């Protein structure tokens, strides 16, 4: 009887200490169809979401962040990198991200916008037109706005920009937090970073969006002498994440890491597999890959364009944690629509501490 009681108490204690950790690339950029409809549904889902820690990617617009904060319960802590905000009239009034760009830039951008789905061609277009001389906030706005580049010059909205697009949500106390750029001080077409946070009852969390496999050709103009390929840059991102995580006893690395293994049983192709193997070599595991194995970036998702393979790009990587469960999230279509909330599906890993 005593043994049964102990086992029951142990089980209840495990449930009480369970922590739900989720990652979701929300794809709130104009290259992905139905931006406004998806945004409403994403924020509604996050408001009612059952999570303890959530890492979001591709939430770049300050107005979207403002709406998210307004809708979320006050008990949810929201952390994101400092927003880029241009000002005018001696700093007294906010200005749009490309306020300092020449007036001729807007016309040039419409020519480059035709190349929005080909980052190598887009990078060549903007470099030839000296647009890389603009601020990082302006460059990021131009990249994520696609056909709606006028948003970067809108003097009514005067948008602020979350350059790396990362947001960390937590229902548990955050003791410390900071944003770390993978390539500090280097202007990029796609600026990448990670959020590092010490979260009570979880450990050190690293919320990231690593270099993606956008093209075969390497496109970052100011890193041509550093990396020969996107795969090499992604691997370096992964090493920087594990170097930082190795300073923690209980690290969690999560986000759209743009790397994953081949899983033949579920028709999943490898993506930058050297990076995924690097995480394994550093003692991390992906419970989602072990327990679920289904793609998170899938060719049959109606929002995925010009992509024929299936990959697991989104992970909650753990070390020194007890795994309770893992599952795929946000697969269902938006009500009365034939598409889901994003071109990625989310991932949840539940751990017991």
Domain boundaries, given as residue ranges, for the chain: 18-83+162-352, 88-153
Angle between the N-to-C axes of helices 35-48 and 62-71, in degrees from 0 to 180, rounded to the nearest 10: 30
CB 183 within 8 A of CB 240: no
Q: Could you say which residues of the chain have pLDDT below 70?
A: 1-16, 102-124, 126-127, 129-130, 215-216
What's the CA gap between 168 and 309, in Å, rounded? 29
pLDDT at site 254? 98
Burial of 93 per CB tally in 10 Å (0-12, 13-18, 19+):
exposed
Is the domain spanning 18-83+162-352 CATH 3.60.10.10? The answer is: yes
Burial of 107 per CB tally in 10 Å (0-12, 13-18, 19+):
exposed
CB 344 within 8 A of CB 329: no
Cα 158 → chain centroid:
24
DSSP bridge partners of 10: none
Strand duo 18-28 + 86-88: pairing: unpaired
How long, in residues, is the chain? 353
Q: What is the pTM of this model?
A: 0.92
CB 167 within 8 A of CB 80: yes
Which tokens in the block code for residue 27?
């794809």
DSSP bridge partners of 61: 161
Sequence-ordered strand ranges (E) for the chain: 18-28, 53-59, 77-79, 86-88, 93-95, 167-170, 174-181, 193-199, 203-209, 251-256, 314-318, 322-329, 346-352
pLDDT at site 125? 73
pLDDT at site 7? 40
148-153 long-range contacts (CB < 8 A, ≥24 apart) are: 148/30, 149/106, 149/109, 149/110, 149/113, 150/106, 151/30, 151/96, 152/96, 152/97, 152/98, 153/96, 153/98, 153/99, 153/101, 153/106
Which tokens in the block code for residue 108?
């040039």
Burial of 132 per CB tally in 10 Å (0-12, 13-18, 19+):
middle
What's the CA gap between 246 and 137, in Å, rounded? 31
pLDDT in tens, 196-221: 999 999 999 999 999 999 766 888 88
Q: What is the dihedral of CA 194, 80, 31, 191, to 10 degrees?
A: -40
pLDDT at site 5? 40
């Amino acid at each position: 009887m005593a043994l049964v009681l102990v086992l029951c108490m142990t089980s209840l204690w495990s449930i009480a200490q369970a922590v739900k950790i989720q990652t979701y690339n929300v794809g709130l950029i104009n290259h992905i169809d139905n931006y406004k409809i998806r945004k409403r549904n994403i924020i509604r889902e996050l408001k009612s979401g059952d999570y303890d820690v959530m890492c979001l990617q591709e939430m770049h617009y300050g107005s979207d962040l403002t709406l998210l904060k307004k809708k979320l319960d006050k008990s949810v802590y929201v952390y994101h990198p400092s927003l880029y905000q241009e000002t005018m009239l001696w700093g007294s009034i906010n200005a749009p991200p490309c306020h300092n760009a020449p007036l001729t830039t807007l016309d040039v951008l419409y020519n480059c916008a035709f190349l929005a789905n080909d980052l190598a061609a887009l990078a060549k277009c903007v470099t030839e037109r000296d647009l890389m001389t603009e601020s990082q906030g302006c460059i990021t706005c131009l990249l994520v706005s696609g056909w709606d580049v006028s948003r970067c010059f809108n003097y009514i909205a005067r948008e602020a920009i979350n350059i790396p697009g990362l947001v960390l949500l937590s229902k548990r106390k955050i003791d410390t937090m900071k944003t770390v750029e993978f390539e500090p001080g280097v202007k990029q077409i796609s600026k990448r970073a990670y959020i590092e946070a010490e979260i009570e009852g979880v450990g050190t969390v690293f919320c990231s969006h690593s270099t993606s496999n956008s093209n075969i050709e390497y496109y970052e103009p100011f890193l041509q002498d550093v990396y020969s390929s996107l795969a090499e840059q992604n691997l370096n991102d992964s090493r920087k994440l594990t170097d930082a995580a190795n300073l923690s006893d209980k690290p969690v690395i999560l986000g759209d890491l743009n790397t994953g293994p081949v899983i033949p049983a579920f028709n999943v192709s490898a993506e930058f597999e050297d990076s995924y193997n690097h995480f394994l070599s550093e003692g991390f595991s992906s419970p989602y890959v072990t327990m679920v194995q289904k793609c998170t970036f899938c060719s049959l998702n109606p929002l995925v364009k010009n992509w024929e393979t299936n990959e697991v790009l989104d992970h909650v990587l753990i070390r020194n944690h007890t795994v309770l469960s893992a599952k795929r999230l946000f697969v269902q279509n938006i009500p009365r629509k034939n598409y889901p909330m994003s071109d990625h599906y989310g991932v949840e890993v539940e751990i017991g501490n």
